[in-house]
Amino acid sequence: MQNLIGEVKKMETMGNLLILFPASLCLFLFVALLNVFYKYWWIPHRKRNHFLSGKTYLSWNGVRALLLITDPDMVNEVLKNSEKAFRKPKASYFFDKLLGDGLGSTESEKWARLRKLAYYAFHGESLKVNHRHSADEMYERFMLLLFSCLLVTWNIYKLDTFLQNMIPAVVASVETMLEKWKSKEGKEIEVFQEFRLLTSEVISRTAFGSSYLEGEKIFDMLMKLTVIAGRNIYKAEIPIIRLLKKREAKVVTGEADNFGRDFLGLLVNAYHEADEKNRLSIQDLVDECKTFYFAGQETVNSLLTWATLLLAIHTDWQDKARAEVIEVFDNQNPDSEGMAKLKTISMVINETLRLYPPISGVIREVRLGTLVLPTHSEVDMRIIALHHDPDLWGDDVDLFKPERFADVIAEATKYNAATFMPFGLGPRSCVGMSFTIIQAKIALSMILQRYTINLSPSYVHAALQRLTLKLQHGIQLLFHSLCYDA
Ligand code: HEM
C-alpha cells in the first residue's frame, strides 16, 4: 500500500512538472514575443510624434495623448497661464509615492502657502547675487523682489542668517569633497557620484541644518524609495520625522529659543502654527522635505556633471574660467561679493543648461473649470527642443559656445523668455534657481582654483534621460593639481 501511495505521489510530481514546464515555456515565449512586438512594431508605428503644424506635434505614450509644443510663444502662453486654464497634471503613481503632495505637484491655496515658505527660504541671495535675466524674467524678478522686500521687513534677521549661513555651508561641503580628491590626484574620478554626495551634503546643511551623515542616510532612503516606487511594491519611510523631533526637543529643553531659521525651521514653525488654516500637517511636512531633498539634489548634480565634462573638453574655456576665478578670489574661498563678478563662469553655466537642461520638459493639462479637456491629454513643453532649435539659436546650435551669453540673457534669447528656460517659466518656475546658481558657481570656482580637468580615455558618451538628463556610464575625469596650494 505504502509503495502504491509513493508511486502515485511520484506520478503527481511528474504530472505537475509535465504541466509546469510547458506552461512556463509558453509564458516565456509569450513575454518574449510581446517584447519584440513592443520594440519593433508598437514603438515605431504607434509611439511616434505626428507633425501637426508649425512646431507642434502629437504623441501618444500608450496612456495619454501629448501635444508637444516647441514654439516659444505658445510655451510662454501656457506656462504664464494668465487664463488659469493649464494646471500641473495629477502626479503619476511613481511620483506620488516618491514625493507625495509637495510644492512641485500640489495646487491652489496649499501651493501658494508652500511656495511662499520655499521662496523665503531659497531666494534670499537674489538680493545680493547679480545673475542676469531676460526681460520677462526681470519683470518677474522685480515683482518677487518687491515681495522679498516685504518679507525682509517682516523679519530681517532670518534673511541675513540665510545669507550668512548659505555660502560658508556650500564652501564647507565643497571642501569636504576636495579633501577626498587629494588622495586620488591624477587618478580617474567618476564625478557623477562625487557630485551626488556633494549636492546631498549641500541641501542637508543649508536647508535642513543636519549633518552630512544624516543627509546621506536620508538620500540613501530616497534612492531606495525611487527604486521601490518604481517597482510599486513596498512603502518606505524616510527619517525626516527624526529631524523634526530633534528640532522640537531643542526648544522643549531650552537649548534653542526657536525651531531654526533654515527651510526645515520654517516648516516646523508652520507645523506648530496656531491658526489651523495655515498649519501644515505632518504629512505635508514630510512630503515637502522629500520634494526638496530630491529636487535640490538630482538636478544640481546633473548640471555640475555636464559643466565639468564641457570644461574638460573645451580647455580654452576652462583656462578662461580659471583666470577669472583667480582674478576674483585669488586663492581664497568664494564669498558673496565675488560671486556677482563671475561673468565667464555664469556664461559656462548658462551654455551648459542650454545644451543639457537637467529637466528636459514640463507638462500641463488643459482645464476649463472642472473639465479636463480632452480627457487623458496633456501639453508637453520640450525645453530641450527649444534649446536646440536652429531657428532660435542659429546653425551652430549644437556647439558649446558660452559667448552666446556674453550680454544679457534677453539678447541671447531675442527677448523671448521661453527660448531659454532650464528652470521653467511663469508662476510654477523653479524656486531653487538662485540656490542652484550659487552652488554651481562655488563648486566650479573651487575646483578650478585647485585642479586642471581632463577627460579620461575610458569615458564613453551616452546621455540618458532618467528623471534628469544623466550620463549612462557616469563621467570619468582626471584632475591634476595646480602648482600652488589654494
Ligand atoms: C539645475 C538645477 C535645477 C533645474 C534645471 C530645475 C528645473 C526646474 C523646472 C524646469 C521646474 C518647473 C517644473 C514645471 O514647470 O512643471 C522646477 C520646479 C521646481 N524646482 Fe527646480 N530645478 C533645479 C534646482 C532646484 C533646486 C536646487 C530646488 C530646491 C532647493 C528645486 C526645487 C523646485 C521646486 C520645489 C519646484 C516646483 C515649484 C512649483 O511648482 O511651484 N529645484 N525646477
Q: Confidence class of residue 47 from pLDDT cuts 50, 70 and 90? A: low
pLDDT greater than 80 at residue 395: yes
Range of the domain at 443: 50-478
Of the two residues 26 and 145, the one the predictor is more confident about is 26
Q: Which of 465, 384, 394 is nearest to 421 (CA)?
A: 384
> 242 to each of 91, 92, 217, 233, how far by Cα in Å?
27, 28, 12, 24
pLDDT greater than 60 at residue 35: yes
Closest residue CA from atom 42 of ligand 1 = 432
pLDDT of residue 137: 45
pLDDT of residue 397: 96
CA of 365 to the centre of ligand 1 (A): 18
Residue type, 343: K
What's the whole-number mean pLDDT along residues 332-361? 95
- The reply to whether ligand 1 has any atom less than 6 angstroms from the CB of 442 is no
CA of 30 to the centre of ligand 1 (A): 42
CA of 159 to the centre of ligand 1 (A): 21
- The reply to whether ligand 1 has any atom less than 6 angstroms from the CB of 114 is no
C-alpha triplet 222, 225, 228: angle, nearest 5°: 160
Closest residue CA from atom 20 of ligand 1 = 430
15 is a domain residue: no
ipTM over 0.90: yes
Q: Which of 457, 486, 460, 454 is nearest to 474 (CA)?
A: 460
36 is a domain residue: no
- The reply to whether ligand 1 has any atom less than 6 angstroms from the CB of 430 is yes
Q: Confidence class of residue 324 from pLDDT cuts 50, 70 and 90? A: very high
20 is a domain residue: no
- The reply to whether ligand 1 has any atom less than 6 angstroms from the CB of 362 is yes
- The reply to whether ligand 1 has any atom less than 6 angstroms from the CB of 436 is yes
- The reply to whether ligand 1 has any atom less than 6 angstroms from the CB of 400 is no
Residues forming the annotated binding site?
430
- The reply to whether ligand 1 has any atom less than 6 angstroms from the CB of 426 is no
* Torsion sign over Cα 255, 259, 263, 264: positive
Q: Confidence class of residue 64 from pLDDT cuts 50, 70 and 90? A: confident
CATH code of the domain in which 95 resides: 1.10.630.10
Q: Confidence class of residue 303 from pLDDT cuts 50, 70 and 90? A: very high
Over the range 253-280, which residues count as b (16 or more CB within 10 Å of their CB) and which as e? Answer: eeeeeebbbbbbbbbbbbbeeeeeeeeb
- The reply to whether ligand 1 has any atom less than 6 angstroms from the CB of 116 is no
- The reply to whether ligand 1 has any atom less than 6 angstroms from the CB of 300 is yes
**CB-CB contact of 148 with 126 (8 Å):** yes
Mutate to test the pocket of ligand 1, among 362, 386, 430 (most ligand atoms within 8 A of CB): 430
Least confident of 47-56, 157-166, 203-212, 386-395: 157-166
42 is a domain residue: no
- The reply to whether ligand 1 has any atom less than 6 angstroms from the CB of 359 is yes
Number of domains in the chain: 1
What's the whole-number mean pLDDT along residues 442-467? 93
Distance CA 200, CA 213 (A): 10
Least confident of 83-92, 120-129, 136-145: 136-145
Q: Rounded mean pLDDT of the chain?
A: 81
Residue type, 122: F
pLDDT greater than 70 at residue 277: yes
129 is a domain residue: yes
Least confident of 199-213, 223-237, 255-269, 297-311: 223-237
pLDDT tens sequence across 68-99: 888 999 999 999 998 888 888 888 777 777 77
pLDDT of residue 124: 52
What's the whole-number mean pLDDT along residues 4-29? 77
pLDDT of residue 49: 65
pLDDT greater than 60 at residue 211: no
CA of 423 to the centre of ligand 1 (A): 6
448 is a domain residue: yes
pLDDT of residue 164: 57
Which atom of ligand 1 lies nearest, measured to the CA of 426?
A: 15
Which atom of ligand 1 lies nearest, measured to the CA of 79?
A: 15
Q: Confidence class of residue 52 from pLDDT cuts 50, 70 and 90? A: low
Q: Where do the H-state alpha helices sit in 314-420?
A: 315-329, 336-339, 343-355, 383-387, 390-393, 409-412
Q: The pTM is what?
A: 0.81
- The reply to whether ligand 1 has any atom less than 6 angstroms from the CB of 78 is no
* Residue 32: partners with Cβ closer than 8 Å, 6 or more residues away: none
Q: Which of 269, 271, 273 is nearest to 260 (CA)?
A: 269
pLDDT of residue 79: 94
Least confident of 172-176, 292-296, 387-391, 398-402: 292-296
CA of 26 to the centre of ligand 1 (A): 47
Number of Cβ within 10 Å of residue 384's Cβ equals 18
pLDDT greater than 90 at residue 436: yes
pLDDT greater than 50 at residue 386: yes
451 is a domain residue: yes
Residues forming the annotated binding site for heme?
430
60 is a domain residue: yes
Which atom of ligand 1 lies nearest, measured to the CA of 291?
A: 35
